[in-house]
Structures are given as structure tokens and as C-alpha cells.
């Protein structure tokens, strides 16, 4: 990627610490104020920020990520007062959710104000807004003095970044700076709740589940199944071009969903078939499935080609490790990644399975 003067962008990397926090954040805020792009950690994943109210700055996000035009971006704010500039007709239930979950991993889709440019909202009359639960983006927004348009800091369609190294793997030379604040704590993107619908609709599952939302505002409708799933189609294959892909490594991912023991058996069956066909197979597994496959002699001889997400009953741990696992396996020169979909749907389990489904090119249910 090249800057306006024709020279390639040099991506600066700042390793944030207590000793340099003020100096680094002030320099990053200056980059934002000058229309540049800065990647930074949040509690969910690393985001790529630019002045969300400046069309030219937001365009740089699309260019850096190679993001298809028309896909809306959410805005990060640092205070409730900042909401007044970007949203209008905010319903009372939205304020109740802010009281309960902000700062935190909840994005609220609200009616936008005239100050939000069409490129940021994807030409929609609404815009997503979030107050992250992380000191770095909160301080960056505050010092920059404007809301940040901030999608995940990766090339579009790739697995989301949970570390600064993941950001640099995708975007070095394409963005102005990266604030390295260490690994994220949640590992999957925020829950997105459309407050312009009645009842409100969850557009993307995350750390804040339906039950928690309904405890605050009453009925909430899940709306994150694909159109194909809503129509009840039986095919386990994604149809090319049917929908915009997310979280997808270059290596084909085959996902097996269902009850633990059955999933492990199916993974073993598929591993045997693929290896017999001469394919190089990697594994993204629960501890239990890994133990089963190891007992059958079906795991790769290279331990780096088997990535453990943790125990089935600990989906929060698996979610935190998911994108790291997809990226780690994707650089191993594999033909297939066999992925385990047997995790509990408690906690972050629904969000975890949602991301695995998006990453998969083929799915089996057992």
C-alpha cells in the first residue's frame, strides 16, 4: 500500500507499558487527528482505528483491510456524553444496556446522526457503537477527541487478530502504527445488538449472551444464522459467493459438530480418509478429541500441526485461543484443518461455534 505521496507506508510499532503510556498514546492520538490509521488491543480482538467522522480517514481502513465497500463499521467511544454526537433517538432500553454492560463487549446498533458519514455506516441509517473495556482504546479515543471507526485489524476475511503479531502479519506496510498491548482477554468480537429493531436483534453473538441481555430489557431475538440455515438447507457446504466470508484461513477448514464422543470418532474417520488420500492434515481440537485421536495413532507426528483449544467444558478458553490456532495452523503448509465443534454452548460457546462455522468450508453434524 502507498501513501498519497507515492511512498510505501512504514508501520510503526509501539510496545505500550506504564513507563511510556502517556507518550505513546499522545503520539497515536496525533496520528488519528492527522487522518491516519492505528491498530490497538481491545478486550475482544485488536481493532484498526481511524477518525470515524472523516470520510478520507475511514477510506484508509477499507483500503488497508481490502474490505469490500458498503460494509458498515462500528464506532468506539470513551464516554456516554460522546454518544450524543453520533446517535439520535436512542431508546431507553439502550441506556439500560449501557448501564449494565459498558464498558464491555457489547456493540449497540443505533439510529445515526448526520455527523456520521455514509462510508462509516455502509449507507445505512444506523451505526454500531461500543465503549470498550480496555484502557488503551479508551484513552486513544479520549485523546484523539473523536470516535474511532474500528473494525478488526486484519485483512478482510482472515481470522481476527488476538495479538500485535497477527496484526503485523496482515497489515504491516498498510497502516501507520500498531500499539502492542499484549494478548487480548476474550478473543472473539463483541456481541452486536440491533436496537433499531423491535424486539432488538442479536446480529452477532459474543461474550454477552441472550439471557444476559433479556435480564435487562426483556425479549431479544437471535438473528445471526445465515440465510441458508434459516431456509433449512441440508447441504454441509458453503456455496461460493453466497455470502461474505469471515475468519477464513487460506487452508480449507472441515468442521465436525455434535456430541463429544461422536465428534471425536468422526474426526478420526476423516483424518484416516484424508491421510490415505495423501493430504497433509492439521487439527484444531478439544483436549478430549486430541486424546482420542492420539490413542488411535491418527494425530500428526508434528505436534505443531495439532492445536489444542482446551477442554470441551471451557469454551471461554477455546474462544480466546481460536484465532491464534487458525493462524498457527494456516502457516504449516497443510491441505486440510480438521476442526472440533464439540464445545459446550455455555459462556462464549455460542460465539465460538459461530466463528468456527464461518471459518469452515465444509461442515458435518453427527
Q: What is the pLDDT of residues 232-283, one digit of tens each?
A: 443 333 222 233 457 889 999 999 999 999 999 999 999 999 999 999 999 9
pLDDT number for residue 247: 84
pLDDT number for residue 233: 42
Give me the CATH code for the 235-365 domain, please. Answer: 3.40.50.11030
pLDDT number for residue 236: 34
Give me the CATH code for the 12-222 domain, please. Answer: 3.90.870.10
Catalogue the E-assigned strands of the chain.
12-15, 38-40, 47-51, 75-76, 106-111, 126-130, 148-149, 177-180, 191-194, 201-204, 221-222, 252-257, 281-286, 306-310, 336-341, 362-365
Residue 113: alpha-carbon gap to chain centroid: 26
pLDDT number for residue 8: 72
As to burial, measured by CB atoms within 10 angstroms (0-12 exposed, 13-18 middle, 19+ buried), residue 332 is: middle
Cis peptide before 199 (omega within 30 of 0): yes
pLDDT number for residue 230: 38
Q: What is the dihedral of CA 249, 252, 258, 260, to 10 degrees?
A: -80
pLDDT number for residue 231: 37
C-alpha to C-alpha distances, 190 to 5, 99, 246, nearest whole angstrom? 36, 17, 14
Delimit the domains of the chain by residue range.
Answer: 12-222, 235-365
pLDDT number for residue 301: 80
What pTM value is reported for the model? 0.91
In the chain, which stretches have pLDDT less than 70?
1-7, 224-245
pLDDT number for residue 303: 86
| Mean pLDDT across the chain | 92
How many Å apart are CA 192 and CA 130, to the nearest integer?
9
* 3-state SS class at 220: coil
Amino acid at each position: 500500500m502507498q501513501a498519497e505521496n507515492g511512498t510505501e507506508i512504514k508501520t510503526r510499532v509501539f510496545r505500550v507499558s506504564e513507563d511510556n503510556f502517556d507518550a505513546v498514546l499522545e503520539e497515536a492520538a496525533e496520528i488519528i487527528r492527522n487522518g491516519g490509521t492505528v491498530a490497538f488491543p481491545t478486550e475482544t480482538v485488536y481493532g484498526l482505528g481511524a477518525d470515524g467522522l472523516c470520510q478520507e480517514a475511514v477510506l484508509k481502513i477499507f483500503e488497508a483491510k481490502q474490505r469490500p465497500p458498503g460494509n458498515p463499521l462500528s464506532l468506539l467511544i470513551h464516554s456516554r456524553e460522546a454518544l450524543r454526537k453520533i446517535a439520535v433517538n436512542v431508546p431507553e432500553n439502550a441506556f439500560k444496556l449501557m448501564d449494565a454492560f459498558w464498558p464491555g463487549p457489547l456493540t449497540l446498533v443505533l439510529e445515526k446522526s448526520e455527523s456520521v458519514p455514509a462510508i462509516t455506516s455502509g449507507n445505512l441509517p444506523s451505526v454500531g457503537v461500543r465503549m470498550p473495556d480496555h484502557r488503551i482504546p479508551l484513552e486513544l479515543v479520549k485523546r484523539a477527541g473523536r470516535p474511532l471507526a474500528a473494525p478488526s485489524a486484519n485483512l478482510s476475511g482472515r481470522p481476527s487478530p488476538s495479538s500485535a503479531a497477527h496484526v503485523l502479519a496482515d497489515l504491516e506496510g498498510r497502516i501507520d502504527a500498531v500499539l502492542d498491548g499484549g494478548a487480548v482477554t476474550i478473543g472473539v468480537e463483541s456481541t452486536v445488538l440491533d436496537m433499531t429493531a423491535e424486539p432488538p436483534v442479536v446480529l452477532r453473538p459474543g461474550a454477552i449472551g441472550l439471557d444476559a441481555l433479556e435480564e435487562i430489557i426483556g425479549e431479544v431475538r437471535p438473528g445471526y444464522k445465515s440465510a441458508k440455515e434459516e431456509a433449512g438447507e441440508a447441504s454441509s457446504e458453503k456455496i461460493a459467493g453466497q455470502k461474505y466470508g469471515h475468519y477464513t484461513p487460506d487452508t480449507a477448514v472441515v468442521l465436525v459438530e455434535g456430541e463429544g464422543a461422536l465428534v471425536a470418532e468422526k474426526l478420526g474417520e476423516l483424518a484416516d480418509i484424508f491421510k490415505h488420500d495423501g493430504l497433509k492434515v492439521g487439527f484444531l481440537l478439544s483436549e478430549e478429541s486430541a486424546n482420542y485421536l492420539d490413542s488411535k495413532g491418527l494425530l500428526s507426528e508434528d505436534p505443531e500441526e495439532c492445536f489444542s483449544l482446551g477442554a470441551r467444558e471451557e469454551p471461554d478458553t477455546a474462544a480466546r485461543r481460536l484465532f491464534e490456532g487458525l493462524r498457527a495452523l494456516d502457516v504449516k503448509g497443510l491441505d486440510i484443518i480438521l476442526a472440533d465443534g464439540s464445545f459446550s454452548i455455555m459462556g462464549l460457546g455460542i460465539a465460538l461455534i459461530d466463528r468456527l462455522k464461518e471459518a469452515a468450508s465444509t461442515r458435518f453434524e453427527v
